[in-house]
Structure 1
Amino acid sequence: MSETLTITTPDGDFSAYVARPEADKAPAILVIQEIFGVNKVMRDICDGLAAQGYVAVCPDLFWRIEPGIDITDQSEAEWKRAFELFNAFDVDTGVNDIAATIAAIRAMPGVEGKVGAVGYCLGGLLAFLTATRTDADAAVSYYGVGIEKHVGEAEKLNHPLLMHIAEKDQFVPPEAQQVILQALKDHPQIEIHTYPGRDHAFAREGGAHYDTGDAAKANALSLAFFKKALG
């Protein structure tokens, strides 16, 4: 069952896609978009999490640029638009919008207990920053781009964080991965899994670099992580 949630901020309102489980009350997971907006890939992730027993919420984080972005990774024109949106996006403001979404989720009817977050690509960076800057109870980052610039924020981490890193990620070069691993591998709240031979977005179903086996492995690890962290 899906619905729309409206989040109110001092700068205006924006919307989020919501998928609900069969249970009347459940913990929640905030799903943080890639650079393609709240598209079918993100909605399907929400629906899958709802089937696992979570209230899943995916906010429209590009609303300040253009509300309602819903594009794919299947054409050159869409990729061009996606990178335009990525370059226009303000990460710090985006994290503030995520914090506002978490507050709205906690107040939703049917949400009981903890609120986690999972993000992909741009959302992978935002999931890391959600873990360090908000009151989210747990977070999962898939192939986050730009995390190496923010590793110092891990000292603020009070809740568990799971990270999936593609070793052949074209957007996270080896030197960036080395910075991330060296800074975070011994952090008591952080669990990191790396995927040899995998490129960026290996878990994006239908994408050019999708890998069935490693996507299934990463997703199983994420579900086990959330079950432990959120109940």
Structure 2
Amino acid sequence: MEDNVINRRGFTTAGLAAGFALAVLPVSAETIITDADNLEAGMVQVPVAGGATMGAYRAVPKWAGQGGHHPVVLVVQEIFGLHEHIRDLCRRLAKSGYYAIAPDLYFRQGDATKVPDIPTLVRDIVSKVSDEQVMADLDATVAFVKTDGRADTRRMAITGFCWGGRIVWLYSAHNPDLKAGAAWYGRLVGNTDAAHPKNPIDLVNQLNAPVLGLYGAKDDGIPVASVDQMRAALAQGDKAASDCKLMVFEDSGHGFNADYRPSYNPTDAKVAWKQMLEWFKKHGVPYVPHA
């Protein structure tokens, strides 16, 4: 994350709260606001199965990419849904030259941003969102992006945070066209059910693209032991698995990139963001910020 593409503004926390999920309020004064200068940014409608449309937040550079096309990054929301933090991350990626798009993957089940507490959110929305539905809706997002002449889906990566970190691993095993993934503190092992039949650790030999995993040593929900378990499984896997990289930040817990929350660790977040951009570049999804 380059300092020159991020603007901090002296808003009050009340002003910052606009667009954030109710379950994350109050918003921290450290919240980063990225402007949309030199970008086209806003909501679009993505056709999905059954004749419905799914909202998605898209941020695209106004300057020309390679051959007029920009590499694509799919952005997968946190458990809190498609709220302002995820939109801001799309703008940050677009500032680095990416065509960034974040679909509202809960749209069939409800608006997560309007739910005031996490237990209700999990019970009424998140638990009902099946992995099969998410994979299909991400496929629909890719199909939508392919119709935009500014996007180059031959150079495509995925990143996700919290709930979305787990989805990064699953979609990397699902879509053979991906070049790279970056999973931020997404669950690796755990209980399964009919709607969520596999954990990332079950898919190490099905990965189509190498994943960079970014985790916090102080994360109570994703213990280091589970990261070590995943690392051992990847080491025994095929090429895409063995090319994966897991990083553990000793001074961080869950959500260390979430600048709107007390969990934010600005030092580790900056390092991890740079690692993600370099990972994408290494695996054929280069970033080209505006001069």
TM norm. shorter chain > 0.5: yes
- Map of 1:193 onto structure 2: 247
C-alpha distance in 2 between matches for 1:133 and 1:167: 28
The answer for the alignment partner of 1:51 in structure 2 is 95
CA–CA separation in structure 2 for the residues paired with 1:214 and 1:174 = 17
Aligned to 1:124: 165
Deviation at 1:28, TM superposition (A): 1.1
Q: Does 1:217 align with 2:257?
A: no
Alignment deviations for residues 64-89 of structure 1 (CA, whole Å, 9 cap, x no partner): 101x54359xxxx3334433332222
Consecutive unaligned residues of structure 1, counting only runs of 5 or more, are: none
Contact map agreement 1:127 1:140 (CA 8 A) in 2: yes
Question: By how many angstroms is 1:109 displaced?
Answer: 2.3
Partner residue in 2 for 1:4 = 43
Query: What is the identity, as a one-letter code, of the residue corresponding to 2:273?
Result: N
Residue 95 and residue 20 in structure 1: after superposition, are their counterparts in 2 closer, same or farther (change >3 A)?
Answer: same
Greater radius of gyration (CA): 2
Q: Return the alpha-carbon distance in structure 2 between the equivalents of residues 178 and 223 of structure 1.
A: 24
Q: Please, what TM-score do these two structures have when normalized by structure 2?
A: 0.72
Q: Unaligned 5+ residue runs, structure 2?
A: 1-39, 191-198, 287-291
How do 1:34-183 residues align onto structure 2 when only pairs under 5 Å count?
Answer: 34-66=78-110, 68-70=111-113, 77-84=116-123, 85-112=125-152, 113-134=154-175, 135-147=177-189, 149-183=199-233
Contact kept, 8 Å, 2:178 with 2:208, in 1: the verdict is no
TM-score by length of 1: 0.89
CA shift, 1:169, in A, is 1.2
Considering fraction of residues, name the structure with more strand: 1
CA drift at 1:158: 2.7
Report the Cα offset of residue 185 of structure 1. Answer: 4.3
Give SS of 1:30's match: strand
Residue identity over aligned pairs, in percent, reads 25
Tell me if structure 1 keeps the 8 A contact 2:188–2:230: no
Rounded to whole Å, the distance in 1 between the matches of 2:157 and 2:59 is 15
Paired with 1:49 and 1:71, the residues of 2 have a C-alpha distance of: 26
Q: How many residues align?
A: 226
Task: Give the superposition deviation at 1:164.
Answer: 0.6
Secondary structure (helix, strand or coil) at the match of 2:280 reads: helix
How many angstroms does 1:152 deviate by? 2.7
Any conservation in 1 of the 2:165–2:186 contact (CA below 8 Å)? yes
Matches of 1:23 and 1:190 in 2, distance apart? Answer: 32
Q: Distance in 2 between matches of 1:55 and 1:141?
A: 18
